[in-house]
Structure 1
Amino acid sequence: MSSDKPTISNDALSGLFGPALDYLVDAGQRSVLFLDVMRQRGIQYREHLAETAPHVLSYDVELLVDGRTLPRPVNYALVRVTPPRGVEIDEKRRPFVVVDPRAGHGPGIGGFKADSEIGVAMKAGHPCYFIGFLPEPVPGQTIGDIARAEAAFLEKVIDLHPEADGKPCVIGNCQAGWAVMMLASLRPNLFGPIIVAGSPLSYWAGVRGKNPMRYSGGLLGGSWLTALTSDLGAGKFDGAWLVQNFENMNPSNTLWSKQYNVYSNVDTEAPRYLEFEKWWGGHVNLNAEEIQFIVDELFVGNNLAAGRIKTSDGAVVDLRNISSPIVVFCSKGDNITPPQQALGWILDLYKDVDEIRSYGQTIVYTVHETVGHLGIFVSGGVAKKQYSEFSSNIDLIDVLPPGLYEATFEAKAADTTNPDLATGQWIMRCEQRTLDDLRAIGGNSPEDERRFATAARVSEINLAAYRNLIQPWIKAFATPPMAEWMRRLHPLRMQYEAFGGDNPTTKVIAEAADNARVHRKPVAADNPFLAFQEAMSKNIVGALDHWRDAQEALSETLFLTVYGSPALQAAVGIDPQSAPSAKPEMTADYRKRLDARIAELKSQIDSGGLRECLIRALLHVGMSRGMVDERSVEALRRLRMTDTGPRLTLAQFKTLVREQFFMLLLDPEASLAAIPRLLPQDTEVRRQGLEAIRDVLSASADVSGEAASRLRRVTELFGVTEEGRSEATKTPFDPQAKAS
């Protein structure tokens, strides 16, 4: 007897439940493996903290100077980085010194990977040094003590390389950037080129609708909370709170994406995640005096660019005193240090590019389009491109004429002119810019500046009230054991500690993870339940991002409303018509020295010989292009000049370039008219010099337009006709020759 009821075949059942079963098995295994990654993270955290000098450098190092042995001891140290096998170091090349940020986490981010600031500098042949720190500060150490220690470290590096072709190139990452800039303003003689990466220097700067961290000080009532936290820490500030501030900026990543990425890719993502978490979880402490200085003078007071910071011996920190080239690397994708905060100090200090030049300063900046704050330091792509080019062309940057430039990078292509003159896969150019180019990035209105000035004044009032009324009671209550107990219970530490112990639960996780690896069955990429998982994750991220955006909009509205109140501004003494960020004026003493230097340069226009004429002519023609290309500088380095005098050192060549550049600025016609009188009488020498000029100018592009017109003028001044030009008179390339 047949039945009319429909039946479901085994294949149909498999089609319905097979993908679900596969997904459940995979999800269960991934869950166990994810918990095991958390267990490994906890164990790694404890082992890292147990180290005497924890860091995440991927290189061996040799201790040179322990800051605890200095007259004013600090918890900083200078180490020499040992190059890995196969990397050749030229001890006569300019050394690189990487200073890591003490912003709550431990040292090592500049040498975190093989492709890092340290890695690319060593590949370019430079000796490398690293300035790091220990987790606990020396009792009583201050920011001034750290500056003295870092000066001693640089003196040591300079002593180790007496034949180097320049003073050390110093890289200051994030919070280390402002520390490096402050020291360079006080001890400019210790520095070669300075690279500040992701470093805030103008703390109020930003644009509305973005950069909400700059509102934090005002919304919390100022720095009294910093003092309270330090007092509860028995004189120490827990760096975990600084890391927590970073975490709060991106809740979708903190609360979901970072962990979900490990869970969803647990078979491949664990090593990278654990490597990063080793650094991110290495929380360190600061002395109360250190963090109070940072918050009061920098983040709330914005006193660095304004020249309102004084050292303990009365010296004024004036960034205009820096004599070395300054390279500023920032990114539009950085919500911690946006381009306005990295570059705004230039607008705070100078009226125009001529004023930058009057201080003899060379400032080069580059703005990445997308990379985030941490990506500036840990992205391999950034290291291979920007840092590799900076390292390979650091001498180019050092000899640039004073002014403002933007570093741009062009990938080599099949039709690239003279690709052999550029190292690596990119060609770096330094293109002249004006202050209007920086203003186009965006910034505060005068009304917003007054709002921040009001917040700074309120901070001073609240801090004074706290110190007079509450601080004595807190200090009496907060003992060192209680402070240590509070540090251990910090939420960031607890998430590491929860899985870090050796207990029955973690043993079960480890055994289950071993079993999951043996029987691992990853789900197919086209499984519909996996697609549903990804969709759910995107919805969670979207919801958290929406919450963040709403919170940031509310924060901005509150700040602008509260501190824009005319009544509050009047109450704290802010003039509604004032300009809180007025540019510091040039001192009478500097003006006197500048006038004397101008007179001296004008008197030397008719002095010199072939070298001076060649550099003067090259600058005259090259200035019309508005940029300097690394290929032109390499061509200049390779050419043997016809001058029979001794070779110039890089420092001497830099001085020569600057002097000729300023002469052309001060009196271009007189400077050019002097060339025929300064040139040797030998026609062949003149012809060879002119060929050298043409070779350098054509190294990056054909000479055309205004540059061609200027070159014709130079040809006339050299007294060499076009008919007299021949291949036989060209000076041959010599890869070993120095620019001289």
Structure 2
Amino acid sequence: MSELSNVSSFPAFADASANYSIDAWQRWILFLDVMRQRAEQYEEHTARKAPHVLDYEAELISDARTFEEPVNYALVRIVPPAGVVIDPLKRPFVIVDPRAGHGPGIGGFKADSEIGVAMKAGHACYFIGFLPDPVPGQTIEKIARAEARFLEIVIARHPEADGKPCVIGNCQAGWAVMMLAAVRPELFGPIIVAGSPLAYWAGVHGQNPMRYSGGLLGGSWLTALVGDLGAGKFDGAWLAQNFENQNPANTLWSKQYNLYSKVDTEAERYLGFERWWGGHVTLNAEEMQFIVDELFVGNKLAVGEIRTSDGTTIDLRTIRSPIVVFCSKGDNITPPQQALGWILDLYESVDEIRSLGQTIAYVVHEKVGHLGIFVSAGVARKEHDEFASNIDLIDVLPPGLYEAVLEPKGDATEHPELVAGEWLMRCERRTLDDIRALGGNDIEDDNSFAAAARLSEINLALYRTFLQPAVKAAVNPSWAEAMRRLHPLRLSYELFGSSNPYLAWVQGAAELVRENRRPAESDNPFLALQEQVSGRIVEGLENWRKMSERIAEQTFNAVYGSSALQAAFGIDTKSNRPPRQAPKSMLTSALVEARTGALRDKIAQGGTLEALMRSLLFVGKAREGADERGFEMIRRIRREHQDASRLNPSEFKALVREQYYILDDDEAAALAAIAPMLPNDIDERRAALDILRGVLEASGALTEAVAERFQHVTELFDVGKRQEAASEPTRIPTRTTPRNRSA
């Protein structure tokens, strides 16, 4: 009450009170009117045959309901708005939105979005969306096959593009994209998974309570029950409810209070988001059961335990495209541990990542929440804009693990003309210890989750044997539809709609208020008191959340951490290895050995271009990474250099990787072979060395270690001496006979 004590006199107090009362009453009426608009928007959205929230005109390209195995998915081309020029030589982008309770379109529901920044960078954009209701009999595997066909269509539509499509998978779509890329790697260019859970057990003690839900509910039997009560359909509103439950302060108070307190300016933003948030969809019960059993509770994706109907193992190590993982420390739905933990499950070292030819880059935002990863304009203008502008840099990075670091482009940036946007992207090499440093499970934690997964299997089997037949017999489609209409989240919209006669006066009253709006002054003490009260409510709800999460974690650990329960489920608690780890393949090791042997035969093969790439990679090792300025110089070399311009991007990428592996396998022999690969003419050698120096200096002054390596390369180029061609042995030509290279 300290704010009120600052009022100097009773007349001032009375005046402030009257002004605040009028303002508060007017805001309340305007708030109710926004709720009315929200309900009308909800009714209009759900009445559409193909509801979405895309802010762009879209052209239907392919409807998967017409496929031999029909599913409720469709591929559309985003029509560029006026003034946006698409470069036909740039790879297309394909954005896949999550089917996690809400409808499609969040990846492009405003100009500053994934779609918006990709088109601004000159890329054609496609969007894979879905209808509210599934096709009877559709499964996750059938959806994957439909999405593969969509990518085939996109590739065929862009034969001149510089590479295969860049595919963005948001949230739940991320794991779907990764699964498809493991089975059909030839369809993909770079893959960006944003806020996507891939290691579902991972987390940090005292945080990430959502991972305990499956165990505390007794496993996936409840998922089967909800699907049966829905007559074979799982209501996505329950998934949205799970998200709401993670932040009761925002769900029960802050979101509505923020609108009420700023109703004059906040309505448009609020309605824009609610249009998507209220667009609940359904899934087939079989689809949802697969997601919970195989992913959420079973955590089988990262360890290669998911198999397709024909027996194919889904192994993420077979993905050939660069993978960009975007996550945030402020995300309580998909924390960094769940977004990145799959790397620790699959690989024992970065050397293993390199040996398999994989490139993985990650970005960890410090504070943005889960939805902000997809909807935040600031994130779109920074992270997603940089991904779109530098996707080719990511595509040609040598195999390994990197962290993409973004720094503002300022006056101190050297060669700013080589930086595409307002941020400078630098990809720095990382090790698995850098991911471990983010936190994660120990052996005891994994044993507890393994016990929860085993109990889930038992409870599901018991439910299917004893209860499921009776539930299915008691439920009919009409009853199931009535239950969906009565879901609390749907009622929160419909109660303010046209079906409620008690709110018929709101629209007229709101118009009258707008004509006579009298907002309180910003220094009104009652406004400060209002903020104080709101803060106390938020604080109380936050304390409740923290207490509930603490109890949930303690309960989970007490039940599933029991050595007796784990022993009963056959979990080896004395082993020092995690209960589930991706198996190693002797075939993969043999293939790596065979490739290494073949590369040794190519050490001395090549011309000036190969020598330049090998030299650049050798010197670049001292930098432990690369940034977009150096790549822009490489891009210009590729356009202007006679040899490089003959290669398409896939061939150029293959050349870079081939030279990387040659150098990595036998550095001494690879360096010794550089001189014979160069032309005899000293001026041509000097020109090649100048190109190399320009690429290296584009990223800034050469450090001592880099300069030392560059000096070594200078000696290999032998530009200080003019050698007589006649006295030299026959050399390999500047450009070897074109070879058939593939990415």
Which TM-score tier does this pair reach, normalised by the shorter chain? over 0.9
The equivalent of 1:8 in structure 2 is: none
The equivalent of 2:626 in structure 1 is: 628
The equivalent of 1:733 in structure 2 is: none
The equivalent of 1:548 in structure 2 is: 545
The equivalent of 1:173 in structure 2 is: 170
Give secondary structure in 1 for the equivalent of 2:505.
Answer: helix
Aligned with residue 534 of structure 2, among 523, 532, 537:
537
The equivalent of 2:594 in structure 1 is: 596
Do 1:453 and 1:580's aligned partners in 2 also have CA atoms closer than 8 Å? no
Q: How big is each residue's C-alpha offset from its partner over 1:686-734, in whole Å with a ceiling of 9 and x where there is no partner? A: 000000000000001111211100000000000013999xxxxxxxxxx
Do 1:635 and 1:696's aligned partners in 2 also have CA atoms closer than 8 Å? yes
Give secondary structure in 2 for the equivalent of 1:624.
Answer: helix
Give how far 1:589 is off. Answer: 2.0
Do 2:236 and 2:280's aligned partners in 1 also have CA atoms closer than 8 Å? yes
Give how far 1:534 is off. Answer: 0.4
Mapping for residues 297-446 of structure 1, pairs under 5 Å: 297-446=294-443
Mapping for residues 506-545 of structure 1, pairs under 5 Å: 506-545=503-542
The equivalent of 1:703 in structure 2 is: 702
Deviates further, 526-535 or 565-574: 565-574
Give how far 1:103 is off. Answer: 0.2
Give how far 1:585 is off. Answer: 3.4
Is there any run of 5+ residues in structure 1 with no aligned partner, and where?
1-10, 725-740
Q: Is residue 500 of structure 1 aligned with residue 504 of structure 2?
A: no
Do 2:498 and 2:504's aligned partners in 1 also have CA atoms closer than 8 Å? no
1:297/1:258 CA distance change after superposition, 3 Å: same
Do 1:454 and 1:563's aligned partners in 2 also have CA atoms closer than 8 Å? yes
The equivalent of 1:7 in structure 2 is: none
Q: How big is each residue's C-alpha offset from its partner over 1:465-520, in whole Å with a ceiling of 9 and x where there is no partner? A: 00000000000001101100100000000010001125543320111111111110
The equivalent of 2:198 in structure 1 is: 201
The equivalent of 1:38 in structure 2 is: 35
Do 2:609 and 2:644's aligned partners in 1 also have CA atoms closer than 8 Å? no
Quote the Cα distance in structure 1 between the aligned partners of 2:229 and 2:703: 68
Quote the Cα distance in structure 1 between the aligned partners of 2:493 and 2:642: 66
The equivalent of 2:687 in structure 1 is: 688
The equivalent of 2:715 in structure 1 is: 716
Mapping for residues 571-720 of structure 1, pairs under 5 Å: 571-578=568-575, 579-639=577-637, 643=642, 647-720=646-719
Do 1:331 and 1:369's aligned partners in 2 also have CA atoms closer than 8 Å? yes
The equivalent of 1:491 in structure 2 is: 488
Give how far 1:645 is off. Answer: 7.2
Mapping for residues 111-130 of structure 1, pairs under 5 Å: 111-130=108-127
Do 2:644 and 2:652's aligned partners in 1 also have CA atoms closer than 8 Å? no
Partner amino acid for 1:251? P
Do 1:642 and 1:685's aligned partners in 2 also have CA atoms closer than 8 Å? no
Partner amino acid for 1:494? L
Give secondary structure in 2 for the equivalent of 1:57.
Answer: coil
Give secondary structure in 2 for the equivalent of 1:608.
Answer: coil
Quote the Cα distance in structure 2 between the aligned partners of 1:406 and 1:70: 40
The equivalent of 1:730 in structure 2 is: none
Quote the Cα distance in structure 1 between the aligned partners of 2:608 and 2:171: 45
Do 1:32 and 1:509's aligned partners in 2 also have CA atoms closer than 8 Å? yes
Partner amino acid for 1:97? V
Q: Is residue 274 of structure 1 aligned with residue 271 of structure 2?
A: yes
Q: How big is each residue's C-alpha offset from its partner over 1:14-43, in whole Å with a ceiling of 9 and x where there is no partner? A: 323100000000000000000000000001
Give secondary structure in 1 for the equivalent of 2:698.
Answer: coil
Give how far 1:644 is off. Answer: 5.2
Give how far 1:106 is off. Answer: 0.5
Give secondary structure in 1 for the equivalent of 2:129.
Answer: strand
Quote the Cα distance in structure 2 between the aligned partners of 1:209 and 1:589: 41
Q: How big is each residue's C-alpha offset from its partner over 1:85-130, in whole Å with a ceiling of 9 and x where there is no partner? A: 1100112210000000000011001001100000000000000000
Quote the Cα distance in structure 2 between the aligned partners of 1:315 and 1:294: 18
Mapping for residues 40-79 of structure 1, pairs under 5 Å: 40-79=37-76
Quote the Cα distance in structure 2 between the aligned partners of 1:186 and 1:483: 36
Do 1:679 and 1:718's aligned partners in 2 also have CA atoms closer than 8 Å? yes
Quote the Cα distance in structure 2 between the aligned partners of 1:121 and 1:247: 30
Do 1:642 and 1:688's aligned partners in 2 also have CA atoms closer than 8 Å? no
Quote the Cα distance in structure 2 between the aligned partners of 1:504 and 1:496: 15
Is there any run of 5+ residues in structure 2 with no aligned partner, and where?
1-7, 724-743
Aligned with residue 221 of structure 1, among 218, 235, 242:
218
Quote the Cα distance in structure 1 between the aligned partners of 2:611 and 2:644: 14
Do 1:306 and 1:581's aligned partners in 2 also have CA atoms closer than 8 Å? no
Do 2:29 and 2:509's aligned partners in 1 also have CA atoms closer than 8 Å? yes
Q: How many residues align?
A: 714
The CA RMSD measured in Å over matched residues stands at 1.3
Mapping for residues 135-146 of structure 1, pairs under 5 Å: 135-146=132-143
Quote the Cα distance in structure 2 between the aligned partners of 1:439 and 1:361: 19
Do 1:642 and 1:689's aligned partners in 2 also have CA atoms closer than 8 Å? no
Quote the Cα distance in structure 1 between the aligned partners of 2:180 and 2:643: 40
Give how far 1:574 is off. Answer: 1.2
Q: How big is each residue's C-alpha offset from its partner over 1:48-70, in whole Å with a ceiling of 9 and x where there is no partner? A: 00001000000000000001001
Aligned with residue 240 of structure 2, among 235, 240, 243:
243
The TM-score normalised by the length of structure 1 is 0.95
Do 2:162 and 2:649's aligned partners in 1 also have CA atoms closer than 8 Å? yes
Partner amino acid for 1:596? A
Quote the Cα distance in structure 2 between the aligned partners of 1:387 and 1:646: 29
Q: How big is each residue's C-alpha offset from its partner over 1:391-446, in whole Å with a ceiling of 9 and x where there is no partner? A: 00000000000000000001011121000101110000000000010010001110
Partner amino acid for 1:685? E
Quote the Cα distance in structure 1 between the aligned partners of 2:671 and 2:292: 52
Partner amino acid for 2:51? P
Give how far 1:300 is off. Answer: 0.3
Do 1:610 and 1:643's aligned partners in 2 also have CA atoms closer than 8 Å? no
Q: How big is each residue's C-alpha offset from its partner over 1:299-356, in whole Å with a ceiling of 9 and x where there is no partner? A: 0000001100000111100000000000000000000000000000000000001100
Quote the Cα distance in structure 1 between the aligned partners of 2:579 and 2:359: 23
The equivalent of 1:14 in structure 2 is: 11
Do 1:361 and 1:402's aligned partners in 2 also have CA atoms closer than 8 Å? yes
The equivalent of 2:726 in structure 1 is: none
Quote the Cα distance in structure 2 between the aligned partners of 1:23 and 1:591: 74
Quote the Cα distance in structure 2 between the aligned partners of 1:293 and 1:716: 60
Partner amino acid for 1:669? A
Partner amino acid for 1:647? R
Aligned-residue sequence identity (percent) comes to 64
Quote the Cα distance in structure 1 between the aligned partners of 2:154 and 2:363: 28
Q: How big is each residue's C-alpha offset from its partner over 1:221-264, in whole Å with a ceiling of 9 and x where there is no partner? A: 00000000000000000000000000000000000000000000
1:687/1:198 CA distance change after superposition, 3 Å: same
Give secondary structure in 2 for the equivalent of 1:604.
Answer: coil
Deviates further, 636-645 or 569-578: 636-645
Deviates further, 56-65 or 588-597: 588-597
Do 2:45 and 2:51's aligned partners in 1 also have CA atoms closer than 8 Å? yes
Give secondary structure in 1 for the equivalent of 2:123.
Answer: coil
Quote the Cα distance in structure 1 between the aligned partners of 2:433 and 2:602: 33
Partner amino acid for 1:477? A
Give secondary structure in 2 for the equivalent of 1:623.
Answer: helix
The equivalent of 2:738 in structure 1 is: none
The equivalent of 1:89 in structure 2 is: 86
Partner amino acid for 2:449? F
Give secondary structure in 2 for the equivalent of 1:698.
Answer: helix
Give how far 1:567 is off. Answer: 1.2
